[in-house]
Amino acid sequence: MIMKFIINGIEYKDYELSNEQLIELLEDDNALSNEQKKHINSMIIQRFKNNVCKCKGESEEELFARQFGKFVNGRMSSPKEVAKNMAKEHRYLQNEMFKVCLEYIKILGENYSKGNYDARNEYACEKSYHSNF
């Protein structure tokens, strides 16, 4: 069952609500019926399971890659801004994140050399292949 909610005069279907909007609705004691509160709580738990918890047999690394993929596929506003924020992290963490980036570049370069790419990732694979890492 799809429920509809009004936020700032705009009607949203439940699946259209961002996590922030869900929390905002729950925090407003007068905004929801008990049925709507239960529905939103259920949605938050399901999103938490899907976005934060590991799937059966999934490693921490696989979980992170899945979460990062979801982030860049619609929640990221700018790669440059993400990079700027990463560069504000603790210097040790900057070093570790850089190692991950380098390994990713190496793997994409290997994929290019094996012909394991298509038009969607050709640019990244070709640039990686011609890098000097």
Give the pLDDT confidence of 20-39 residue by residue, as tens digits: 899 988 888 777 889 999 99
- pTM, whole model, 2 decimals? 0.71
User: What average pLDDT does the structure give for the chain?
Assistant: 92
> Per-residue pLDDT for 70 more than 80?
yes
The confidence score (pLDDT) of residue 132 equals: 81
Give the pLDDT confidence of 87-100 residue by residue, as tens digits: 999 999 999 999 99
- Confidence class of residue 85 from pLDDT cuts 50, 70 and 90? very high
> Per-residue pLDDT for 125 more than 90?
yes
The confidence score (pLDDT) of residue 7 equals: 87
The confidence score (pLDDT) of residue 55 equals: 87
Interacting residues of 40 by C-beta distance below 8 A, sequence separation 6+ = 14, 22, 25, 26, 32
Q: Summarize the confidence of residues 99-104 as an average pLDDT.
A: 97
Amino acid at 121: N
